[in-house]
Structure 1
Amino acid sequence: MQIIDFMIDQNLRELTEHRTMVLPVACYETVINQNVNGYIPLHWHDEFQFVLVINGEADFHINEEKIMVQEGEGLFINSSCLHSAEDKNDSGCAYICLNISPSFVLPQELNAMYVKPYTEATNIPYIKLIHAEGWAFNILASIRKIHQLTKETPSCYQIDISIHINLIWKNLMMNGIQLEFELAEMIKSQRMKQMLDWIHFNYAEKILLDDIAKAGQLSRSECCRYFKRILKTTPLNYVTHYRIQKSLILLKQPESNITDIAYSVGFNSTSYYIERFRKAMDTTPLAYKKLHMS
Protein backbone atom coordinates (compact mmCIF):
# COMPACT_ATOMS: atom_id res chain seq x y z
CA MET A 1 0.00 0.00 0.00
CA GLN A 2 1.47 3.34 -1.06
CA ILE A 3 2.30 5.91 1.60
CA ILE A 4 1.11 9.23 0.11
CA ASP A 5 1.85 11.49 3.07
CA PHE A 6 4.59 9.99 5.25
CA MET A 7 5.71 11.85 8.35
CA ILE A 8 9.28 12.96 8.98
CA ASP A 9 10.88 14.31 12.13
CA GLN A 10 12.83 17.55 12.54
CA ASN A 11 15.92 15.84 11.09
CA LEU A 12 14.05 14.71 7.93
CA ARG A 13 14.08 11.15 9.22
CA GLU A 14 11.04 9.27 7.99
CA LEU A 15 8.91 8.08 10.90
CA THR A 16 7.05 5.34 9.02
CA GLU A 17 7.75 1.89 10.42
CA HIS A 18 8.77 -0.18 7.39
CA ARG A 19 7.38 -3.62 8.05
CA THR A 20 5.54 -6.33 6.12
CA MET A 21 3.69 -8.50 8.62
CA VAL A 22 6.27 -9.81 11.12
CA LEU A 23 9.32 -8.88 9.07
CA PRO A 24 11.32 -5.60 9.29
CA VAL A 25 10.70 -5.27 5.56
CA ALA A 26 8.22 -3.22 3.51
CA CYS A 27 7.42 -3.68 -0.17
CA TYR A 28 4.81 -1.63 -2.01
CA GLU A 29 4.14 0.28 -5.23
CA THR A 30 4.57 4.05 -5.26
CA VAL A 31 3.15 6.45 -7.87
CA ILE A 32 5.14 9.63 -7.42
CA ASN A 33 2.50 12.16 -8.40
CA GLN A 34 -0.01 10.60 -5.98
CA ASN A 35 2.03 11.81 -3.03
CA VAL A 36 0.37 14.75 -1.25
CA ASN A 37 3.23 16.99 -2.44
CA GLY A 38 3.15 15.74 -6.04
CA TYR A 39 6.65 14.36 -5.50
CA ILE A 40 8.54 12.37 -2.86
CA PRO A 41 9.99 14.98 -0.48
CA LEU A 42 13.51 14.92 0.92
CA HIS A 43 13.90 12.41 3.75
CA TRP A 44 16.10 9.60 5.07
CA HIS A 45 15.69 6.41 7.06
CA ASP A 46 17.83 3.69 8.58
CA GLU A 47 16.57 1.04 6.16
CA PHE A 48 18.24 0.18 2.88
CA GLN A 49 15.96 1.03 -0.02
CA PHE A 50 15.73 -0.81 -3.32
CA VAL A 51 13.71 0.73 -6.14
CA LEU A 52 12.45 -0.85 -9.37
CA VAL A 53 10.72 1.52 -11.81
CA ILE A 54 7.79 -0.28 -13.44
CA ASN A 55 6.31 2.64 -15.38
CA GLY A 56 7.63 5.95 -16.70
CA GLU A 57 10.79 7.59 -15.45
CA ALA A 58 11.94 9.67 -12.51
CA ASP A 59 14.74 11.85 -11.22
CA PHE A 60 16.02 10.68 -7.84
CA HIS A 61 18.06 13.14 -5.77
CA ILE A 62 20.44 11.33 -3.42
CA ASN A 63 22.81 13.41 -1.32
CA GLU A 64 24.57 15.56 -3.91
CA GLU A 65 23.56 13.76 -7.08
CA LYS A 66 20.59 13.52 -9.43
CA ILE A 67 19.99 10.13 -11.07
CA MET A 68 17.48 9.52 -13.84
CA VAL A 69 15.89 6.07 -13.63
CA GLN A 70 13.78 4.65 -16.45
CA GLU A 71 11.27 1.82 -16.65
CA GLY A 72 12.99 -1.50 -15.97
CA GLU A 73 15.88 0.13 -14.09
CA GLY A 74 16.37 0.43 -10.35
CA LEU A 75 18.38 1.86 -7.49
CA PHE A 76 19.97 0.81 -4.24
CA ILE A 77 19.82 3.73 -1.77
CA ASN A 78 22.08 3.31 1.23
CA SER A 79 21.04 3.64 4.84
CA SER A 80 20.73 7.20 6.22
CA CYS A 81 21.17 8.92 2.83
CA LEU A 82 19.03 11.97 2.09
CA HIS A 83 16.84 11.29 -0.95
CA SER A 84 13.80 12.53 -2.85
CA ALA A 85 12.13 11.74 -6.18
CA GLU A 86 10.27 13.63 -8.91
CA ASP A 87 8.29 12.33 -11.86
CA LYS A 88 10.11 13.11 -15.10
CA ASN A 89 8.19 14.50 -18.09
CA ASP A 90 4.79 13.76 -16.47
CA SER A 91 5.39 10.08 -17.21
CA GLY A 92 3.15 8.78 -14.42
CA CYS A 93 6.18 7.14 -12.87
CA ALA A 94 5.46 4.17 -10.62
CA TYR A 95 8.00 2.03 -8.84
CA ILE A 96 8.26 -0.88 -6.46
CA CYS A 97 9.82 0.28 -3.20
CA LEU A 98 11.56 -2.30 -1.01
CA ASN A 99 12.82 -1.16 2.40
CA ILE A 100 14.93 -3.55 4.47
CA SER A 101 16.32 -3.12 7.97
CA PRO A 102 20.12 -3.59 7.81
CA SER A 103 19.94 -5.98 10.76
CA PHE A 104 17.66 -8.32 8.78
CA VAL A 105 19.77 -8.62 5.61
CA LEU A 106 21.96 -11.44 6.93
CA PRO A 107 22.21 -13.45 10.16
CA GLN A 108 23.79 -11.56 13.05
CA GLU A 109 27.01 -13.58 12.79
CA LEU A 110 27.54 -12.34 9.20
CA ASN A 111 26.15 -8.83 9.52
CA ALA A 112 29.31 -7.18 10.87
CA MET A 113 31.42 -8.68 8.08
CA TYR A 114 29.16 -8.22 5.07
CA VAL A 115 26.54 -5.53 5.85
CA LYS A 116 27.87 -2.98 8.34
CA PRO A 117 30.78 -1.90 6.07
CA TYR A 118 28.20 -0.79 3.48
CA THR A 119 26.30 1.37 5.98
CA GLU A 120 29.57 3.09 6.96
CA ALA A 121 31.09 3.48 3.47
CA THR A 122 31.22 7.08 2.19
CA ASN A 123 31.46 6.33 -1.54
CA ILE A 124 28.15 4.51 -2.13
CA PRO A 125 25.11 6.66 -1.30
CA TYR A 126 23.46 4.76 -4.15
CA ILE A 127 24.07 2.16 -6.84
CA LYS A 128 22.10 2.22 -10.09
CA LEU A 129 20.67 -1.13 -11.12
CA ILE A 130 20.62 -1.78 -14.88
CA HIS A 131 19.25 -5.11 -16.07
CA ALA A 132 22.05 -5.54 -18.63
CA GLU A 133 24.39 -6.24 -15.70
CA GLY A 134 23.94 -9.83 -14.50
CA TRP A 135 24.18 -9.04 -10.77
CA ALA A 136 21.74 -6.11 -11.14
CA PHE A 137 19.34 -8.21 -13.24
CA ASN A 138 19.22 -10.74 -10.39
CA ILE A 139 18.49 -8.01 -7.83
CA LEU A 140 15.66 -6.57 -9.93
CA ALA A 141 14.18 -10.06 -10.38
CA SER A 142 14.25 -10.65 -6.61
CA ILE A 143 12.55 -7.29 -5.98
CA ARG A 144 9.72 -8.36 -8.29
CA LYS A 145 9.49 -11.72 -6.55
CA ILE A 146 9.35 -10.17 -3.07
CA HIS A 147 6.62 -7.80 -4.25
CA GLN A 148 4.66 -10.75 -5.59
CA LEU A 149 5.12 -12.69 -2.35
CA THR A 150 3.88 -9.79 -0.19
CA LYS A 151 0.72 -9.53 -2.32
CA GLU A 152 -0.06 -13.24 -2.60
CA THR A 153 1.25 -14.39 0.83
CA PRO A 154 1.59 -18.11 0.01
CA SER A 155 2.56 -20.65 2.64
CA CYS A 156 5.91 -19.82 4.31
CA TYR A 157 6.27 -16.71 2.14
CA GLN A 158 8.25 -14.94 4.89
CA ILE A 159 11.01 -17.53 4.50
CA ASP A 160 11.02 -17.01 0.72
CA ILE A 161 11.30 -13.25 1.25
CA SER A 162 14.27 -13.79 3.56
CA ILE A 163 15.94 -16.02 0.94
CA HIS A 164 15.49 -13.38 -1.77
CA ILE A 165 16.92 -10.68 0.49
CA ASN A 166 20.01 -12.84 0.99
CA LEU A 167 20.27 -13.20 -2.80
CA ILE A 168 19.85 -9.46 -3.31
CA TRP A 169 22.70 -8.71 -0.91
CA LYS A 170 24.98 -11.37 -2.38
CA ASN A 171 24.44 -9.93 -5.88
CA LEU A 172 24.96 -6.37 -4.65
CA MET A 173 28.35 -7.38 -3.27
CA MET A 174 29.23 -9.00 -6.61
CA ASN A 175 29.34 -5.63 -8.41
CA GLY A 176 32.94 -5.21 -7.28
CA ILE A 177 32.76 -1.70 -5.80
CA GLN A 178 35.62 -1.05 -3.39
CA LEU A 179 34.29 0.55 -0.22
CA GLU A 180 35.85 3.82 0.95
CA PHE A 181 35.71 5.49 4.35
CA GLU A 182 36.67 9.18 4.10
CA LEU A 183 36.61 11.27 7.26
CA ALA A 184 35.99 14.48 5.28
CA GLU A 185 32.83 13.01 3.76
CA MET A 186 31.59 11.88 7.16
CA ILE A 187 32.14 15.38 8.57
CA LYS A 188 30.38 16.99 5.60
CA SER A 189 27.35 14.76 6.05
CA GLN A 190 27.25 15.48 9.78
CA ARG A 191 27.44 19.26 9.25
CA MET A 192 24.69 19.17 6.64
CA LYS A 193 22.39 17.31 9.00
CA GLN A 194 23.25 19.73 11.82
CA MET A 195 22.14 22.68 9.66
CA LEU A 196 18.95 20.92 8.58
CA ASP A 197 18.26 19.99 12.19
CA TRP A 198 18.58 23.62 13.24
CA ILE A 199 16.27 24.83 10.45
CA HIS A 200 13.63 22.23 11.22
CA PHE A 201 13.64 23.16 14.89
CA ASN A 202 13.55 26.94 14.32
CA TYR A 203 11.61 27.31 11.05
CA ALA A 204 8.75 29.22 12.73
CA GLU A 205 11.16 31.92 13.96
CA LYS A 206 13.13 34.56 12.08
CA ILE A 207 16.08 32.82 10.40
CA LEU A 208 19.23 34.47 9.06
CA LEU A 209 21.97 32.95 6.93
CA ASP A 210 24.41 33.52 9.79
CA ASP A 211 22.27 31.33 12.06
CA ILE A 212 22.30 28.41 9.64
CA ALA A 213 26.03 28.69 9.01
CA LYS A 214 26.73 28.76 12.74
CA ALA A 215 24.71 25.57 13.24
CA GLY A 216 27.03 23.78 10.80
CA GLN A 217 30.19 25.46 12.13
CA LEU A 218 30.75 27.00 8.70
CA SER A 219 31.26 30.44 7.18
CA ARG A 220 28.35 32.02 5.29
CA SER A 221 29.93 31.29 1.91
CA GLU A 222 30.77 27.68 2.80
CA CYS A 223 27.24 27.18 4.12
CA CYS A 224 25.83 28.34 0.78
CA ARG A 225 28.18 26.00 -1.07
CA TYR A 226 26.97 23.05 1.05
CA PHE A 227 23.32 23.72 0.23
CA LYS A 228 24.01 24.38 -3.43
CA ARG A 229 26.12 21.24 -3.80
CA ILE A 230 23.94 18.85 -1.79
CA LEU A 231 20.38 20.22 -2.05
CA LYS A 232 20.71 22.30 -5.26
CA THR A 233 19.24 25.39 -3.60
CA THR A 234 20.21 28.24 -1.29
CA PRO A 235 19.86 27.99 2.50
CA LEU A 236 17.09 30.62 2.70
CA ASN A 237 15.20 29.16 -0.26
CA TYR A 238 15.31 25.83 1.53
CA VAL A 239 13.85 27.49 4.64
CA THR A 240 10.99 28.91 2.55
CA HIS A 241 10.34 25.54 0.94
CA TYR A 242 10.33 23.78 4.31
CA ARG A 243 7.90 26.32 5.75
CA ILE A 244 5.52 25.71 2.83
CA GLN A 245 5.75 21.94 3.38
CA LYS A 246 4.89 22.43 7.07
CA SER A 247 1.93 24.61 6.10
CA LEU A 248 0.43 21.78 4.01
CA ILE A 249 -0.30 19.89 7.22
CA LEU A 250 -2.09 22.89 8.73
CA LEU A 251 -4.10 23.55 5.57
CA LYS A 252 -5.72 20.13 5.97
CA GLN A 253 -7.32 21.20 9.24
CA PRO A 254 -10.91 22.43 8.67
CA GLU A 255 -10.70 25.30 11.16
CA SER A 256 -7.35 26.63 9.88
CA ASN A 257 -6.95 30.22 8.72
CA ILE A 258 -4.55 31.22 5.92
CA THR A 259 -3.16 34.23 7.79
CA ASP A 260 -2.65 32.30 11.01
CA ILE A 261 -0.92 29.50 9.08
CA ALA A 262 1.41 31.95 7.33
CA TYR A 263 2.65 33.42 10.59
CA SER A 264 2.77 30.11 12.45
CA VAL A 265 5.24 28.60 9.94
CA GLY A 266 7.51 31.65 9.91
CA PHE A 267 6.33 33.96 7.12
CA ASN A 268 6.15 37.64 8.09
CA SER A 269 3.21 38.46 5.81
CA THR A 270 0.22 36.62 4.35
CA SER A 271 0.79 38.03 0.87
CA TYR A 272 4.38 36.78 0.75
CA TYR A 273 3.26 33.34 1.94
CA ILE A 274 0.62 33.18 -0.81
CA GLU A 275 3.14 34.34 -3.42
CA ARG A 276 5.75 31.72 -2.48
CA PHE A 277 3.12 29.00 -2.05
CA ARG A 278 1.75 29.65 -5.55
CA LYS A 279 5.26 29.52 -7.00
CA ALA A 280 6.09 26.25 -5.23
CA MET A 281 2.76 24.43 -5.52
CA ASP A 282 1.26 25.97 -8.68
CA THR A 283 -1.89 26.87 -6.74
CA THR A 284 -2.91 29.11 -3.84
CA PRO A 285 -3.14 28.04 -0.20
CA LEU A 286 -6.91 28.57 -0.27
CA ALA A 287 -7.37 26.50 -3.42
CA TYR A 288 -5.20 23.75 -1.91
CA LYS A 289 -7.26 23.83 1.27
CA LYS A 290 -10.59 23.65 -0.60
CA LEU A 291 -9.33 20.77 -2.74
CA HIS A 292 -8.25 18.85 0.32
CA MET A 293 -11.50 19.55 2.16
CA SER A 294 -13.52 18.28 -0.83
Structure 2
Amino acid sequence: MQIKDFRVDHRLKELTEHRTVLLPIACYETTISKNINGFIPLHWHDELQFVVVIKGEATFQINDECVVIRESEGLFINSGCVHMAKDMNDSGCVYICLNVSPSFVLAQELYPTLVAPFIQATNIPYLHLVTTERWAENIVKSIIEINQIIKQKSPYYEIDISIHLTLIWKNLIINGVTLEYEQTEMRKNERMKQMLNWIHHHYAEKIFLNDIARAGQLSRSECCRYFKRLVMKTPLEYVTDYRIQKSLLLLQQSDLTVTEVAYQVGFNSTSYFIDKFRKVMNMTPLAYKKMIV
Protein backbone atom coordinates (compact mmCIF):
# COMPACT_ATOMS: atom_id res chain seq x y z
CA MET A 1 0.00 0.00 0.00
CA GLN A 2 1.42 3.36 -1.03
CA ILE A 3 1.85 6.04 1.62
CA LYS A 4 0.51 9.17 -0.09
CA ASP A 5 0.85 11.54 2.83
CA PHE A 6 3.34 10.19 5.36
CA ARG A 7 3.56 12.26 8.54
CA VAL A 8 6.75 13.76 9.90
CA ASP A 9 7.36 15.37 13.27
CA HIS A 10 8.85 18.83 13.82
CA ARG A 11 12.32 17.32 13.35
CA LEU A 12 11.34 16.04 9.85
CA LYS A 13 11.57 12.48 11.15
CA GLU A 14 8.98 10.30 9.45
CA LEU A 15 6.33 9.02 11.87
CA THR A 16 5.11 6.13 9.73
CA GLU A 17 5.56 2.81 11.50
CA HIS A 18 7.63 0.78 9.06
CA ARG A 19 6.58 -2.76 9.85
CA THR A 20 4.31 -5.62 8.90
CA VAL A 21 2.24 -7.28 11.60
CA LEU A 22 5.15 -9.44 12.79
CA LEU A 23 8.29 -7.92 11.29
CA PRO A 24 10.02 -4.52 11.67
CA ILE A 25 9.95 -3.92 7.91
CA ALA A 26 7.65 -2.27 5.38
CA CYS A 27 7.59 -2.94 1.66
CA TYR A 28 5.26 -1.21 -0.79
CA GLU A 29 5.14 0.26 -4.30
CA THR A 30 5.18 4.06 -4.54
CA THR A 31 4.09 6.25 -7.45
CA ILE A 32 5.84 9.54 -6.80
CA SER A 33 3.23 11.72 -8.53
CA LYS A 34 0.47 10.33 -6.28
CA ASN A 35 2.04 11.85 -3.17
CA ILE A 36 0.03 14.82 -1.90
CA ASN A 37 2.94 17.12 -2.77
CA GLY A 38 3.55 15.61 -6.20
CA PHE A 39 6.96 14.51 -4.93
CA ILE A 40 8.41 12.78 -1.86
CA PRO A 41 9.37 15.65 0.47
CA LEU A 42 12.50 15.90 2.56
CA HIS A 43 12.44 13.53 5.56
CA TRP A 44 14.52 10.97 7.44
CA HIS A 45 14.03 7.84 9.54
CA ASP A 46 16.09 5.37 11.53
CA GLU A 47 15.25 2.51 9.17
CA LEU A 48 17.50 1.51 6.30
CA GLN A 49 15.79 2.12 2.96
CA PHE A 50 16.15 0.14 -0.25
CA VAL A 51 14.58 1.27 -3.52
CA VAL A 52 14.08 -0.42 -6.89
CA VAL A 53 12.61 1.64 -9.73
CA ILE A 54 10.19 -0.53 -11.72
CA LYS A 55 8.89 2.20 -14.05
CA GLY A 56 10.27 5.52 -15.25
CA GLU A 57 13.08 7.37 -13.51
CA ALA A 58 13.52 9.67 -10.52
CA THR A 59 16.01 12.02 -8.92
CA PHE A 60 16.77 11.16 -5.30
CA GLN A 61 18.51 13.63 -3.02
CA ILE A 62 20.33 12.12 -0.04
CA ASN A 63 21.84 14.71 2.30
CA ASP A 64 23.52 17.10 -0.15
CA GLU A 65 23.97 14.67 -3.05
CA CYS A 66 21.63 13.90 -5.95
CA VAL A 67 21.47 10.71 -7.98
CA VAL A 68 19.24 9.64 -10.88
CA ILE A 69 17.77 6.15 -10.53
CA ARG A 70 16.42 4.64 -13.72
CA GLU A 71 14.16 1.69 -14.39
CA SER A 72 15.59 -1.62 -13.02
CA GLU A 73 18.18 0.25 -10.95
CA GLY A 74 18.16 0.48 -7.16
CA LEU A 75 19.27 2.64 -4.27
CA PHE A 76 20.34 2.07 -0.67
CA ILE A 77 19.76 4.99 1.75
CA ASN A 78 21.53 4.71 5.07
CA SER A 79 19.89 5.16 8.46
CA GLY A 80 19.30 8.75 9.56
CA CYS A 81 20.07 10.35 6.18
CA VAL A 82 17.79 13.17 5.04
CA HIS A 83 16.31 12.38 1.62
CA MET A 84 13.63 13.24 -0.94
CA ALA A 85 12.58 12.09 -4.43
CA LYS A 86 11.14 13.70 -7.56
CA ASP A 87 9.85 12.17 -10.78
CA MET A 88 11.99 12.90 -13.84
CA ASN A 89 10.52 14.02 -17.15
CA ASP A 90 6.95 13.12 -16.09
CA SER A 91 7.96 9.47 -16.40
CA GLY A 92 5.27 8.22 -13.99
CA CYS A 93 8.01 6.79 -11.81
CA VAL A 94 7.01 3.82 -9.66
CA TYR A 95 9.42 2.21 -7.24
CA ILE A 96 9.47 -0.56 -4.66
CA CYS A 97 10.36 0.86 -1.25
CA LEU A 98 11.71 -1.48 1.41
CA ASN A 99 12.31 -0.04 4.88
CA VAL A 100 13.89 -2.24 7.51
CA SER A 101 15.05 -1.70 11.07
CA PRO A 102 18.86 -2.00 11.28
CA SER A 103 18.48 -4.33 14.24
CA PHE A 104 16.54 -6.82 12.09
CA VAL A 105 19.05 -7.15 9.26
CA LEU A 106 21.20 -9.75 11.03
CA ALA A 107 21.14 -11.68 14.29
CA GLN A 108 21.81 -9.43 17.28
CA GLU A 109 25.13 -11.16 17.97
CA LEU A 110 26.36 -9.98 14.54
CA TYR A 111 24.99 -6.44 14.79
CA PRO A 112 27.97 -4.78 16.60
CA THR A 113 30.56 -5.95 14.07
CA LEU A 114 28.66 -6.33 10.79
CA VAL A 115 25.86 -3.74 10.90
CA ALA A 116 26.61 -0.89 13.31
CA PRO A 117 29.97 0.13 11.71
CA PHE A 118 28.30 0.36 8.31
CA ILE A 119 25.34 2.53 9.34
CA GLN A 120 27.61 4.82 11.40
CA ALA A 121 30.04 5.43 8.53
CA THR A 122 29.86 9.04 7.27
CA ASN A 123 31.02 8.25 3.72
CA ILE A 124 28.05 6.01 2.85
CA PRO A 125 24.85 8.07 2.93
CA TYR A 126 23.70 6.01 -0.06
CA LEU A 127 24.78 3.45 -2.64
CA HIS A 128 23.57 3.45 -6.25
CA LEU A 129 22.61 -0.12 -7.12
CA VAL A 130 23.52 -0.53 -10.79
CA THR A 131 22.78 -4.06 -11.98
CA THR A 132 25.92 -4.32 -14.10
CA GLU A 133 27.60 -4.97 -10.74
CA ARG A 134 26.88 -8.49 -9.49
CA TRP A 135 26.51 -7.50 -5.81
CA ALA A 136 24.04 -4.74 -6.72
CA GLU A 137 22.09 -7.02 -9.05
CA ASN A 138 21.74 -9.57 -6.22
CA ILE A 139 20.35 -6.87 -3.91
CA VAL A 140 17.84 -5.65 -6.49
CA LYS A 141 16.63 -9.21 -7.09
CA SER A 142 16.15 -9.81 -3.37
CA ILE A 143 14.17 -6.56 -2.93
CA ILE A 144 11.84 -7.55 -5.75
CA GLU A 145 11.51 -11.02 -4.24
CA ILE A 146 10.66 -9.62 -0.78
CA ASN A 147 7.95 -7.47 -2.38
CA GLN A 148 6.41 -10.58 -3.96
CA ILE A 149 6.74 -12.65 -0.78
CA ILE A 150 4.84 -10.03 1.25
CA LYS A 151 2.08 -9.90 -1.37
CA GLN A 152 1.69 -13.70 -1.43
CA LYS A 153 2.16 -14.39 2.30
CA SER A 154 2.86 -18.08 1.83
CA PRO A 155 3.37 -20.27 4.93
CA TYR A 156 6.50 -19.22 6.86
CA TYR A 157 7.02 -16.25 4.52
CA GLU A 158 8.70 -14.41 7.40
CA ILE A 159 11.62 -16.85 7.21
CA ASP A 160 11.95 -16.27 3.46
CA ILE A 161 12.08 -12.50 4.08
CA SER A 162 14.74 -12.96 6.73
CA ILE A 163 16.85 -15.05 4.34
CA HIS A 164 16.67 -12.37 1.64
CA LEU A 165 17.56 -9.62 4.10
CA THR A 166 20.67 -11.56 5.08
CA LEU A 167 21.61 -11.92 1.40
CA ILE A 168 21.00 -8.20 0.81
CA TRP A 169 23.26 -7.22 3.68
CA LYS A 170 25.98 -9.68 2.73
CA ASN A 171 26.09 -8.28 -0.81
CA LEU A 172 26.05 -4.71 0.52
CA ILE A 173 29.07 -5.14 2.80
CA ILE A 174 31.19 -7.13 0.31
CA ASN A 175 31.15 -4.39 -2.35
CA GLY A 176 34.53 -3.10 -1.15
CA VAL A 177 33.66 0.34 0.24
CA THR A 178 36.14 1.43 2.92
CA LEU A 179 34.28 2.80 5.94
CA GLU A 180 35.13 6.32 7.12
CA TYR A 181 34.07 8.21 10.24
CA GLU A 182 34.47 11.97 9.77
CA GLN A 183 33.61 13.97 12.88
CA THR A 184 33.22 17.20 10.91
CA GLU A 185 30.63 15.59 8.65
CA MET A 186 28.76 14.23 11.67
CA ARG A 187 28.61 17.74 13.17
CA LYS A 188 27.38 19.22 9.87
CA ASN A 189 24.57 16.69 9.61
CA GLU A 190 23.55 17.25 13.23
CA ARG A 191 23.53 21.04 12.87
CA MET A 192 21.46 20.82 9.70
CA LYS A 193 18.92 18.61 11.44
CA GLN A 194 18.80 21.08 14.35
CA MET A 195 17.95 23.93 11.97
CA LEU A 196 15.35 21.89 10.12
CA ASN A 197 13.88 20.77 13.43
CA TRP A 198 13.57 24.39 14.56
CA ILE A 199 11.83 25.45 11.34
CA HIS A 200 9.38 22.56 11.48
CA HIS A 201 8.51 23.45 15.05
CA HIS A 202 8.17 27.23 14.49
CA TYR A 203 6.99 27.50 10.84
CA ALA A 204 3.67 29.09 11.87
CA GLU A 205 5.52 31.94 13.62
CA LYS A 206 7.45 34.90 12.21
CA ILE A 207 10.90 33.58 11.32
CA PHE A 208 14.12 35.49 10.71
CA LEU A 209 17.42 34.22 9.34
CA ASN A 210 19.06 34.89 12.70
CA ASP A 211 16.62 32.50 14.39
CA ILE A 212 17.52 29.64 12.05
CA ALA A 213 21.27 30.31 12.31
CA ARG A 214 21.04 30.37 16.09
CA ALA A 215 19.29 26.97 16.11
CA GLY A 216 22.31 25.48 14.31
CA GLN A 217 24.83 27.49 16.33
CA LEU A 218 26.11 29.06 13.10
CA SER A 219 26.66 32.51 11.63
CA ARG A 220 24.14 33.81 9.11
CA SER A 221 26.51 33.18 6.20
CA GLU A 222 27.34 29.65 7.36
CA CYS A 223 23.64 28.93 7.83
CA CYS A 224 22.97 29.97 4.23
CA ARG A 225 25.82 27.77 2.98
CA TYR A 226 24.41 24.77 4.85
CA PHE A 227 20.99 25.21 3.24
CA LYS A 228 22.39 25.78 -0.23
CA ARG A 229 24.41 22.57 0.21
CA LEU A 230 21.53 20.39 1.40
CA VAL A 231 18.32 21.79 -0.10
CA MET A 232 19.64 24.09 -2.85
CA LYS A 233 17.64 26.98 -1.38
CA THR A 234 18.15 29.81 1.04
CA PRO A 235 16.88 29.18 4.58
CA LEU A 236 13.92 31.53 4.11
CA GLU A 237 13.04 30.01 0.72
CA TYR A 238 12.93 26.65 2.48
CA VAL A 239 10.63 28.11 5.16
CA THR A 240 8.23 29.34 2.46
CA ASP A 241 8.19 25.98 0.67
CA TYR A 242 7.64 24.13 3.94
CA ARG A 243 4.70 26.40 4.77
CA ILE A 244 3.20 25.61 1.36
CA GLN A 245 3.57 21.88 2.10
CA LYS A 246 1.81 22.29 5.44
CA SER A 247 -0.99 24.27 3.78
CA LEU A 248 -1.97 21.39 1.49
CA LEU A 249 -3.63 19.35 4.24
CA LEU A 250 -5.37 22.40 5.69
CA LEU A 251 -6.78 23.35 2.29
CA GLN A 252 -8.49 19.96 2.21
CA GLN A 253 -10.60 20.98 5.21
CA SER A 254 -13.77 22.52 3.78
CA ASP A 255 -14.38 24.72 6.84
CA LEU A 256 -11.13 26.71 6.43
CA THR A 257 -10.83 29.65 4.05
CA VAL A 258 -7.69 30.40 2.05
CA THR A 259 -6.98 33.36 4.33
CA GLU A 260 -7.32 31.24 7.46
CA VAL A 261 -4.96 28.63 6.03
CA ALA A 262 -2.43 31.32 5.06
CA TYR A 263 -2.25 32.67 8.60
CA GLN A 264 -2.19 29.22 10.21
CA VAL A 265 0.95 28.23 8.30
CA GLY A 266 2.81 31.48 8.97
CA PHE A 267 1.99 33.84 6.09
CA ASN A 268 0.95 37.32 7.20
CA SER A 269 -0.51 38.23 3.80
CA THR A 270 -3.11 36.28 1.83
CA SER A 271 -1.93 37.75 -1.48
CA TYR A 272 1.68 36.73 -0.75
CA PHE A 273 0.52 33.20 0.15
CA ILE A 274 -1.46 32.96 -3.11
CA ASP A 275 1.52 34.18 -5.15
CA LYS A 276 3.96 31.71 -3.55
CA PHE A 277 1.46 28.84 -3.71
CA ARG A 278 0.90 29.44 -7.44
CA LYS A 279 4.64 29.37 -8.12
CA VAL A 280 5.07 26.04 -6.29
CA MET A 281 1.82 24.25 -7.26
CA ASN A 282 1.03 25.91 -10.62
CA MET A 283 -2.45 26.81 -9.39
CA THR A 284 -4.02 29.06 -6.79
CA PRO A 285 -4.88 27.76 -3.31
CA LEU A 286 -8.58 28.15 -4.09
CA ALA A 287 -8.24 26.09 -7.30
CA TYR A 288 -6.40 23.42 -5.32
CA LYS A 289 -9.07 23.47 -2.64
CA LYS A 290 -11.87 23.06 -5.20
CA MET A 291 -9.99 20.23 -6.89
CA ILE A 292 -9.42 18.31 -3.64
CA VAL A 293 -12.48 19.01 -1.46
Instruction: Give the TM-score normalised by the residue count of structure 1.
Output: 0.99
Pairing 1:63–2:91 present:
no
Pairing 1:268–2:260 present:
no
Distance 1:204 1:266 in 2: 4
Q: Secondary structure at the match of 1:108?
A: coil
Q: Per-residue displacement from partner, 1:171-228 (whole Å, max 9, x unpaired)?
A: 0001110111011001001110111111111111111111111111111111000000
Structure 2 portions without partners, runs of 5+: none
Q: Among the aligned pairs, what percent are the same residue?
A: 64
Aligned residue for 2:285?
A: 285
Q: Secondary structure at the match of 2:30?
A: strand
Offset of 1:287 from its aligned partner? 1.1
Aligned residue for 1:123?
A: 123
- Superposed, 1:186-265 pairs within 5 Å as 186-265=186-265
Deviates more, 1:138-147 or 1:281-290: 281-290
Aligned residue for 1:4?
A: 4
Distance 1:47 1:18 in 2: 8
Offset of 1:111 from its aligned partner? 0.6
Offset of 1:290 from its aligned partner? 1.2
Q: Per-residue displacement from partner, 1:220-268 (whole Å, max 9, x unpaired)?
A: 1110000001111110000000111111111111101111111111111
Runs of 4+ with deviation above 3 angstroms: none
Distance 1:241 1:273 in 2: 11
Q: Per-residue displacement from partner, 1:80-120 (whole Å, max 9, x unpaired)?
A: 10000000000000000000000100011001111111221
Over aligned residues, Cα RMSD in angstroms?
0.7
Distance 1:153 1:222 in 2: 51
Distance 1:21 1:76 in 2: 24
- Superposed, 1:133-172 pairs within 5 Å as 133-172=133-172
Distance 2:128 2:143 in 1: 14
- Superposed, 1:79-90 pairs within 5 Å as 79-90=79-90
Q: Secondary structure at the match of 2:109?
A: helix
Distance 1:264 1:30 in 2: 30
Offset of 1:283 from its aligned partner? 1.1
Distance 2:102 2:163 in 1: 15
Q: Secondary structure at the match of 1:272?
A: helix
Pairing 1:177–2:177 present:
yes
Q: Secondary structure at the match of 1:18?
A: coil
- Superposed, 1:29-48 pairs within 5 Å as 29-48=29-48
Structure 1 portions without partners, runs of 5+: none
Distance 1:203 1:96 in 2: 32
Q: Secondary structure at the match of 1:191?
A: helix
Aligned length in residues:
293
Offset of 1:21 from its aligned partner? 2.5
Instruction: Give the TM-score normalised by the residue count of structure 2.
Output: 0.99
Q: Secondary structure at the match of 2:227?
A: helix
Q: Secondary structure at the match of 1:109?
A: coil
